[in-house]
Amino acid sequence: MFTIKNHLEIENGHLTIGGVDAVEIVKRYGSPLYVTNEERVRKNFRSYQDAFPEADLYYAAKANGNLTILKIMAEEGAGADVFSDGELYMALLAGIPKKKILFNGNSKSDSELLMAVMTGVRVSVDSFDELRTLSSIAKSEGRVVDIAFRVNPDVSPQTHPKIATGLKTSKFGVPHEEVIRAYKEALDIPGINPVGIHCHIGSQILNITPFAEAMNKMMDLVEQVSRLGVKLEFVDIGSGLGIPYEKGIRVPSTADLANLILPIFNERCVAAGINPKLILEPGRYILADSTVLLTTVNTMKEAAKKFVGIDAGFNLLIRPTMYDSYHYVVVANKADAVAVDTYTIVGPICETGDILANDRELPQIEKGDIVALLDAGAYGFSMSSQYNGRTRCAEVLVQKGDVDVIRKAETYDDLLSNQVIPARFL
């Protein structure tokens, strides 16, 4: 037995996850299959918390919104960053305390704002317009809602453009030069209690210096906002720490991030004579490497390239198509065999862009082999679709050799659910 990547091991030539043989689990639960190692999820959460012992961690529910995952987060003491009414519903159902839920979003509907007011969660307000709408909703319900403003700090996170969220031109947040005016208005209008400040600069960030820039800009604002008479209970710096999708690359750790931003946060709080709570909102770091997507080879083709046609495409894992992301590939039933050829792994979707892995050196692949796509736990299942009439696969949770189904595979009925046939077609 030896380790192939992180917690993933090879035993008798097979990939194993959480003490379970990948080939056996596909035989039993079908293919494709998302397999999550509970122990790894908890370990990732705890290592983040260890690096930031004084901070609250709000798990970003969009990374993986499965109710069981949210319950694990609740057990670990996490709060939640939610971005929709559905995520809010799920986070509350999972038992995450309402005071540790921050409702984010750049285009919340009036009914979502009403839901925030009635459930008593905190709202990260994204614009002046939203502030005014929220105020009138809270006022008409006779409630007061705790808010932060989402700041656009104008910081380049040096990541894929589609996951850079804190650039001046990004759709998120109040431009930093307008933030003071926003708090002034928040102090004046009814139903609004400003208690925090929030930003989030992007995701899969591997050079952490932009976090220092963001923290400094945020603390400039924190000082000015405090001088207005706002008692800030929290400073939420968002998330974005990247993970090593490619085997062997060195990436900054949670400790590196803490060593970079905690001194800035602590010193500037002392200087300003304030004591707000630091909040971080990790998603990817907690879930990504806990999960593999197991797939089966349907067919092989030698053309301009050697194509491996598997049974999962961007319907189940859209990251390679959407963000040009890299996922490490293991042939799970030949996990210790030597690489002999260069393969391109493609899905079954009727789109040229349905490529999961390009030009990989792998052992001899044949029909029926089990191809594992690693680090699929964040923005994997949560971004899946039924495109091309493909039912979504099951998700299972493994823990020290035990397996629990945490989502059943869809059936044709699920393709039809909510479709209504007008009488004249019956």
- Report strand pairing: 33-37 vs 355-362: unpaired
- Report strand pairing: 56-60 vs 277-280: parallel
Kindly report the number of other CB atoms within 10 A of residue 162's CB atom. Answer: 11
Rounded alpha-carbon distances, angstroms, from residue 231 to 75, 227, 263, 276, 410 = 30, 9, 21, 8, 49
CA distance linking residue 82 with residue 59, whole number of Å? 9
Bridge partners of 373, per DSSP, are: 293, 329
Q: Choose the binding region for ligand PLP from 40-48, 183-191, 243-251, 280-288 (rule: CB under 6 A).
A: 280-288
Q: Which of 16, 44, 239, 291 binds ligand PLP (CB under 6 A)?
A: 239
> Site size for ligand PLP, by CB under 6 A?
16
Q: Judged by CB, which is closer to ligand PLP: 37, or 104?
A: 104
What is the nearest approach in angstroms of ligand PLP to the Cβ of residue 64? 10
Tokens of 137: 């909703």
Name the amino acid, one letter, at 113: L
What is the nearest approach in angstroms of ligand PLP to the Cβ of residue 356? 20
CA distance linking residue 260 with residue 51, whole number of Å? 11
Contact track, ligand PLP, 377-416, x by CB under 6 A = -x--------------------------------------
What is the nearest approach in angstroms of ligand PLP to the Cβ of residue 415? 29
Question: Does residue 44 belong to the site contacting ligand PLP (CB under 6 A)?
Answer: no
Q: Choose the binding region for ligand PLP from 106-114, 233-241, 307-315, 332-340 (rule: CB under 6 A).
A: 233-241
Phi, psi (degrees; rounded to nearest 5) at 234: -150, 150
Q: Choose the binding region for ligand PLP from 2-10, 55-63, 212-220, 265-273 (rule: CB under 6 A).
A: 55-63
Q: What is the DSSP letter of 392?
A: P
Q: Judged by CB, which is closer to ligand PLP: 194, or 238?
A: 238
Whether residue 367 contacts residue 309, with contact meaning beta carbons closer than 8 Å, is answered with no
What is the nearest approach in angstroms of ligand PLP to the Cβ of residue 42? 17
Question: Does residue 238 belong to the site contacting ligand PLP (CB under 6 A)?
Answer: yes
Per CB under 6 A, residues contacting ligand PLP are 60, 62-63, 81, 104, 200, 203, 238-240, 281-285, 378
